[in-house]
Amino acid sequence: MSATIDLLLMNGTVVTMDAAWTIIPQGAVAIQGNQIVAVGPASELAEHYTAKETRDCSGHAIIPGLINGHAHVPMSLLRGMVADQQLDVWLFGYMFPVESQFVDADFSYVGTLLSCAEMLRGGTTTFVDMYYFEEEVARAADAAGMRAICGQTVMRLPTPDAKSFDEGLERARRFIEAWRDHPRIVPTVAPHAPYTCTDRIYQEASALCRRFGVPLVTHLSETAHEVDESIREREVTPIRYAKRVGAFDVPCIAAHCVHATEDDIRLLREARVGAVPCPTSNLKLASGIAPYRRLIDAGVRVGLGTDGPASNDDQDMFTEIQLAALLPKGVSGDPTAVPAREALALATCWGAKAIHLDQIIGTLEVGKRADVAVVGLGRLHSAPRYTYSPDAIYSHLVYSARASDVRDVIVDGRMLMREQQLLSLDEADILHRAQSIAEGINTFLAHRESDVLAKIIALGGVQPDEIFEIQVKARVGATSETKLHALLEHPEVSISKHSVRTQYDTYFFFKSHERLRIREDHRTDPGARPEPKYTITLVAEAVRGEYPLAMVLSRARYTASADHTARFYREYFQPERHVEIEKRRKRWRILYKEHDFALNLDTLASGASDAGPYLEIKSRTWSSRDAATRANLIGELMAIAGISEDELVKQEYVELV
Amino acid sequence: MSATIDLLLMNGTVVTMDAAWTIIPQGAVAIQGNQIVAVGPASELAEHYTAKETRDCSGHAIIPGLINGHAHVPMSLLRGMVADQQLDVWLFGYMFPVESQFVDADFSYVGTLLSCAEMLRGGTTTFVDMYYFEEEVARAADAAGMRAICGQTVMRLPTPDAKSFDEGLERARRFIEAWRDHPRIVPTVAPHAPYTCTDRIYQEASALCRRFGVPLVTHLSETAHEVDESIREREVTPIRYAKRVGAFDVPCIAAHCVHATEDDIRLLREARVGAVPCPTSNLKLASGIAPYRRLIDAGVRVGLGTDGPASNDDQDMFTEIQLAALLPKGVSGDPTAVPAREALALATCWGAKAIHLDQIIGTLEVGKRADVAVVGLGRLHSAPRYTYSPDAIYSHLVYSARASDVRDVIVDGRMLMREQQLLSLDEADILHRAQSIAEGINTFLAHRESDVLAKIIALGGVQPDEIFEIQVKARVGATSETKLHALLEHPEVSISKHSVRTQYDTYFFFKSHERLRIREDHRTDPGARPEPKYTITLVAEAVRGEYPLAMVLSRARYTASADHTARFYREYFQPERHVEIEKRRKRWRILYKEHDFALNLDTLASGASDAGPYLEIKSRTWSSRDAATRANLIGELMAIAGISEDELVKQEYVELV
């Protein structure tokens, strides 16, 4: 006598990942509705059940669907966009400008579809996400038939979907209310990280999670720098900070934890926080290697994630599992550190604990949701098959099997991939839509890469300066004081400002003849504010118009405050060459016949062919007629100062080095 | 007007890997015979050439065939056999016993076929091998159509194909002579490693290489332990030692170099040695992470290898390339360390230099051999495609593409895989032959795993002991001296030997009721040799036959010298529990009525319920009749000593703890 059920997976090696690590060599899994109703030897299940669909899994392993514990799935659209850069160049030079320009509801939807298709092909059935327009992530995950915890990102900076964090929190609240009863999607809020949030963001996010009974998703202790900064600014690690601001008052999923201290690890265990390192991403972004062995030994709930595909670049949990087995061995010198079985657990039974869904997924046991992957064994890269020890299956799955060996995938009892054919998603259509979004970004970046101005504009805050610059410069030697005196004491000259400065200028030169100047400007006169000013100025190629005495340059100039290091700009702009100049400048702002001029007495630091001093008279204007007027006035000022023509220097300082 | 050639690969992104890192976005490669005759824009080549076969490579990258710089290809047959063990357990417990039992000509041939099939599928066109029966490796590689440097392993220990290293060197000489003129196979000799070879092996191998103009293949500085030991024993690192014994007098390919010092790196560069780390294997065996960045910066010829599939477990160069890009970032904290382009170079242009074949392979350039792989882009895991910067292709190939994306493979102008169908090899037949060899090993291991005796025998040197043991043991307390005296002074007793020992015994207990004893036996009597003796003894369950006074145990015993640590044996045998006993033993070997007995006065160290002293009289024999005789004689000796029945102890020492 046999019961009729929906689906019977027969004759595979069933890797249950249950508490006893049960392996059933000639096993079967019976599925009715969205649940597993029996797991056991195939011969037994064949006696008890008749199924609407029976899949022969000979030569295959039947495993719990894999759990991707941390991702930013829409970022699949940015995969391969930029790599091998310092974190700031990657983030401020590429990710933020592109995200602020391109991320919208459609981006999140299409990017999620692409990721779901990839994840299903690789046997992943559940993922935890953190991105913008998270309702679109939820909608796409639902369409794909996957299980997901979707975290609406909140941070104190403006994001593509919220101008302020209040708006972000409100978005999260509406999102959770709209999706809270979904059978597979858990909607929630994701305060981005301690270094991008405020206490209030975490407190309100935690309150939201408590109110709706959903887990809180965040990033903690990803980099050593983040930990150092947190200790410097708050005297506690990011993990202890997170506890302080309430993040651990609700079930928490903390991505990375690469630099968790012993104290942090105790906190994570006590608060039952899920720690989710992302091996590939942690390597690629040079964050480091998480203390897998110590986290596991301490009893922390440990999972594994892919992180966003912009830093991975795939969403292949087989790769992450393999790295979780390999990396701890390589760095500890102990080849038994994190054996295959435990590495697989991080993406199944233990991973389910880490994301607080172990009541319903993570193992193949009666009563659990039917989230299952069927993985081919004995392919060219995984043959031959050793079976003398049942545990050898873990080694096969972790060290040999790969995403492309997955044959069938079932989520919540529904077959989403059969015989490597995706059933819920249209691959060709997704690839087409993804590429068309990427084409827009390609065009944006292609334009920007060939255009230094566009690259500056992408960084934000750029202002155009006056086009015409009128200047005269003279090597004045020992006569500098006399000449200055003549000018400053002249009855028609009034001084509006005076300062003494040391300026460190770095010039970048490009094929395009444009020039970038990054200036670090320190006031050194007594009583002046000690903070240096940093500016970046793009100077287009100049058209020189020579007036009898003064030089008039016509050129576009764009200035922004320089928030990053010279190293950042060098790596971001990749100039053909760069030149550094240091000069000491005494500056007077003067008015002469109702026109303003700058009077600079400059001494160059070593490196220049002639250190000076140089006396420079300079002015700028938007108008060509005004430029001519000023050129004549500069002639008069030269006469006042008694500068002779043979003292004039036609080059700019950067040309003197 | 157009020339007719054999093969035209059209419309792909040609990644030439030439010195200028030329990328041709809509490119083509023209092949005539075994050579590349043109590389350029597809439109140009279309004008100049008509081909017998034209392959449209739209949406694909055309790259140089990948170079696997270090492998033991027949070991694919041992893939997944054992993992996550300490190196000694892995090697002495599994690899050596299985290799000594199963490796023969057929094993090497079939294992190589399996590896070639896997490597071709993953875009690898050339490999460097080191194994036994290397002529079979050459024969299989030739049948597959691949390019290979095949190194016949030589070491001072007996190998599956040579009883001595002289025989190994002679084998290598014959092999080189037989294969020296092959267009794709370079036959050579591979002295295994400094720690398994002698000076003479290296010297003679180097002489062989010089004589035939072939490179020398070896392992150097794989583990920190190896380096430490080398410095302790020879006062130089393995790399400096290799130079001293002539390994660098010829072009050398040195696998691993994980623990190369700064001095080593200089030596490698000066001697133009190819250094070939194996990222996955170096992690899995806990050897560490090679100094990729430092090796490259120093100008060493650096390649990449998979190592044997028993420690990897695949032969997928895409994985190794990705790890070579990721690992240096993760450990240095610098996300620009080894960018994608350089990681790919390690398996192409630089890899060719490392194996001294850069004159003919490694780049797509006119005049080079036509070794090419065509790799699909824009799959679910590698979409979308960014093209704003030509260099983005490196990121796509290194971080997103994988072995299963390879569509076509050409070696020496011959198409070996077309549209993912292998043309030179019969996959099903290879898988079948591989599995049937594995089944033999499965049976051997299954038997051994369930049989402690088989596991000991696998380690070698085991001798069966006498089956019958006759013994009496008494707790003698303060009377011990008197009793001993009575025995030793008795006219019918003669003493043959006397010693004082401290014995550390570790007992392993199994479900099977067998017992293993590992004994560390130190002589402590003055003048005795200080070296301890280590023995391992398997004791089967005893059948007790009680004689009036003495106890007679009938049980199988097997003893071998114990060459490994207690930790090794614990991990290898995996006992249910283990017990340690330390005892101080005064021993006399005596003759009484022409039978030999041992007389032991034993004191147990703390831990025992009663430390003693115990007086033990013992004898062993193969014969049951003789056992009865000796039991009676022991009764007489007890009477001589004056041991009363209530002093007798029936348990063994291990039962007293």
Q: Over the stretch A340-349, which tens digit does the pLDDT of each residue have?
A: 999 999 999 9
Q: What is the pLDDT of residue A66?
A: 98
Q: What is the pLDDT of residue B552?
A: 78
Assess whether pLDDT exceeds 60 at residue B579.
yes
Q: Which of A283, A284, A431 sits opposite B383 (nearest CB)?
A: A431
Q: What is the pLDDT of residue A460?
A: 76
- DSSP sequence for A571-639: HHH--SEEEEEEEEEEEEEEEETTEEEEEEEEEEPBTBS----EEEEEEEES-HHHHHHHHHHHHHHHH
Q: What is the pLDDT of residue A158?
A: 84
Q: How far apart are CA B435 and CA B442, in angstroms?
A: 10
Q: How far apart are CA B471 and CA A508, in angstroms?
A: 92
Stretch A200-207: mean pLDDT, rounded? 97
**H helix intervals, B245-357:** 262-270, 279-284, 292-297, 317-332, 340-346, 349-354
- Determine the distance from the C-alpha atom of residue A75 to the mean position of all C-alpha atoms in its chain, rounded to a whole number: 10
> What single letter denotes the amino acid at residue A556?
A
- Residue B145: which pLDDT band, with cuts at 50, 70 and 90? very high
Q: Over the stretch A603-650, which tens digit does the pLDDT of each residue have?
A: 998 667 788 899 999 998 887 788 888 988 998 998 899 988 888 887
Mutate to test the interface with B, among A380, A395, A574 (most CBs of B within 10 A): A380
Pairing mode of beta strands A60-64, A3-15: parallel
What value does the CA radius of gyration of chain B take, rounded to a whole number of Å?
32
Q: Over the stretch A120-156, which tens digit does the pLDDT of each residue have?
A: 999 999 999 999 999 999 999 999 999 999 999 999 8
Q: Which of A81, A282, A340 sits opposite B330 (nearest CB)?
A: A282
Stretch A76-97: mean pLDDT, rounded? 87
A156-163 CB contacts, 8 Å cutoff, 24+ apart: A156/A196, A156/A197, A156/A198, A156/A201, A157/A196, A159/A132, A160/A99, A160/A100, A160/A103, A160/A104, A160/A132, A160/A133, A161/A103, A161/A132, A161/A133, A162/A132
Q: What six digits make up the tokens of B558?
A: 């097997």
> What single letter denotes the amino acid at residue B54?
T
Assess whether pLDDT exceeds 70 at residue B289.
yes
What are the extents of the domains in chain B? Answer: 66-440, 452-656
What value does the CA radius of gyration of chain A take, rounded to a whole number of Å?
32
Distances (CA, A) of A343 to A301, A327, A346, A613, B493: 13, 11, 5, 68, 64
Are B129 and B156 contacting, i.e. CB atoms less than 8 angstroms apart? no
Question: CB A288 to CB B333 under 8 A?
Answer: yes
Phi then psi for residue B582, to 5 deg, are -115, 130
State yes or no: A70 annotated in a binding site.
Answer: yes
Q: What is the CATH number of domain A66-440?
A: 3.20.20.140
Assess whether pLDDT exceeds 70 at residue B1.
no
Q: What six digits make up the tokens of B613?
A: 């002293």
CA distance A42 to chain B (A): 22
Stretch B596-603: mean pLDDT, rounded? 93
Chains A, B: CB contacts within 8 A come to 241
Are A388 and B442 contacting, i.e. CB atoms less than 8 angstroms apart? yes
- Residue A467: which pLDDT band, with cuts at 50, 70 and 90? confident
Question: CB A383 to CB B114 under 8 A?
Answer: yes
Assess whether pLDDT exceeds 90 at residue A423.
yes
Q: Is A47 exposed, middle or buried (CB count within 10 Å of its CB: 0-12, 13-18, 19+)? A: exposed
Average pLDDT taken over every residue of chain A:
93
Stretch A408-423: mean pLDDT, rounded? 98
Are B338 and B394 contacting, i.e. CB atoms less than 8 angstroms apart? no
Are B470 and B627 contacting, i.e. CB atoms less than 8 angstroms apart? yes
CA distance B112 to chain A (A): 12
Q: What is the pLDDT of residue B648?
A: 85
Phi and psi based region of residue B333 (left: phi greater than 0; alpha: psi -120 to 50; beta: remaining): left
Question: CB A118 to CB B381 under 8 A?
Answer: yes
Assess whether pLDDT exceeds 90 at residue B453.
no
Residue list, annotated binding site of B for substrate:
99, 192, 222, 307
Q: What six digits make up the tokens of B478?
A: 């303060």
Question: CB B280 to CB A326 under 8 A?
Answer: yes
Are A553 and A466 contacting, i.e. CB atoms less than 8 angstroms apart? no
Stretch B292-316: mean pLDDT, rounded? 96
Distances (CA, A) of B604 to A280, B482, B644: 54, 20, 21
Tell me: cis bond preceding B166? Omega within 30 of 0 counts. no
Q: How far apart are CA A477 and CA B239, in angstroms?
A: 62
Q: How far apart are CA A254 and CA A276, in angstroms?
A: 6
Pairing mode of beta strands A274-276, A301-302: parallel
Phi then psi for residue A130, to 5 deg, are -150, 110
The more confident residue out of A645 and A254 is A254
Question: CB A382 to CB B79 under 8 A?
Answer: yes
Q: What is the pLDDT of residue B555?
A: 78
- Residue A524: which pLDDT band, with cuts at 50, 70 and 90? confident
Stretch B642-657: mean pLDDT, rounded? 82
**From start to end of A277-405, where are the E strands?**
301-302, 372-376
Question: With helix as H, strand as E and coil as C, how does B342-378 read?
Answer: HHHHHCCHHHHHHCCCCCCCCCCCCCCECCEEEEECC
Question: CB B335 to CB A84 under 8 A?
Answer: yes
CA distance A61 to chain B (A): 15
State yes or no: A578 annotated in a binding site.
Answer: no
ipTM over 0.95: no
Q: How far apart are CA A154 and CA A131, in angstroms?
A: 9
- Residue B546: which pLDDT band, with cuts at 50, 70 and 90? low
**H helix intervals, A197-339:** 199-212, 224-234, 238-244, 262-270, 279-284, 292-297, 317-332
Stretch A17-38: mean pLDDT, rounded? 97
DSSP 3-state of A302: strand
Max CA distance (Å), chain A:
116
Q: What six digits make up the tokens of B191?
A: 């002295």
Are A392 and B441 contacting, i.e. CB atoms less than 8 angstroms apart? no
Stretch A329-336: mean pLDDT, rounded? 94
Q: How far apart are CA B252 and CA B202, in angstroms?
A: 12
Q: What six digits make up the tokens of A142?
A: 């639902």
Average pLDDT taken over every residue of chain B:
93
Handedness of CA A401, A403, A404, A407 (dihedral sign): positive
Mutate to test the interface with A, among B110, B342, B386 (most CBs of A within 10 A): B386
Question: CB B435 to CB A402 under 8 A?
Answer: no
State yes or no: A334 annotated in a binding site.
Answer: no
Distances (CA, A) of A501 to A524, A561, B262: 5, 18, 45
Q: How far apart are CA A421 and CA A408, in angstroms?
A: 8
Question: CB B387 to CB A284 under 8 A?
Answer: no
Q: Percent of chain B having pLDDT more than 70?
A: 99
Question: With helix as H, strand as E and coil as C, how does A405-471 read?
Answer: HEEEEEECCEEEEECCEECCCCHHHHHHHHHHHHHHHHHHHHHHHCCHHHHHHHHCCCEECCCEEEE
Question: CB A445 to CB B386 under 8 A?
Answer: yes
DSSP conformational letter for A75: G
Q: How far apart are CA A76 and CA A313, in angstroms?
A: 8
Q: Which of B87, B392, B395 sits opposite A335 (nearest CB)?
A: B87
Q: How far apart are CA A327 and CA B542, in angstroms?
A: 47
Max CA distance (Å), chain B:
116
Q: What is the pLDDT of residue B358?
A: 98
State yes or no: A222 annotated in a binding site.
Answer: yes
Are A112 and A73 contacting, i.e. CB atoms less than 8 angstroms apart? yes
Q: What is the pLDDT of residue A130?
A: 98
Name the least confident of A21-25, B386-390, B397-401, B463-467. B463-467
Distances (CA, A) of A491 to A209, A472, A495, A615, A639: 73, 21, 11, 20, 14
Are A302 and A277 contacting, i.e. CB atoms less than 8 angstroms apart? yes
DSSP 3-state of B218: strand
Assess whether pLDDT exceeds 70 at residue A548.
no
Q: Percent of chain A having pLDDT more than 70?
A: 99
Q: How far apart are CA A579 and CA A398, in angstroms?
A: 52
Question: CB B380 to CB A431 under 8 A?
Answer: yes
Stretch A459-477: mean pLDDT, rounded? 83
| Other Cβ atoms within 10 Å of B407 Cβ, number | 20
Tell me: cis bond preceding A277? Omega within 30 of 0 counts. no
Assess whether pLDDT exceeds 70 at residue B548.
no
Distances (CA, A) of B133 to A403, A451, B159, B433: 35, 60, 10, 18
Q: Which of B286, B378, B438 sits opposite A431 (nearest CB)?
A: B378
> What single letter denotes the amino acid at residue B472?
V
Mutate to test the interface with A, among B259, B317, B381, B417 (most CBs of A within 10 A): B381
Q: How far apart are CA A580 and CA A281, in angstroms?
A: 35
Assess whether pLDDT exceeds 60 at residue A462.
yes
- DSSP sequence for B115-130: HHHHHHHTTEEEEEEE
Name the least confident of A310-324, A383-397, B538-552, B601-615. B538-552
Q: How far apart are CA A65 and CA A413, in angstroms?
A: 11
CATH topology of domain B452-656: Hypothetical Protein Pfu-838710-001 (2.40.320)
- Please tell me which residue of chain B has the smallest CA distance to A78: B384
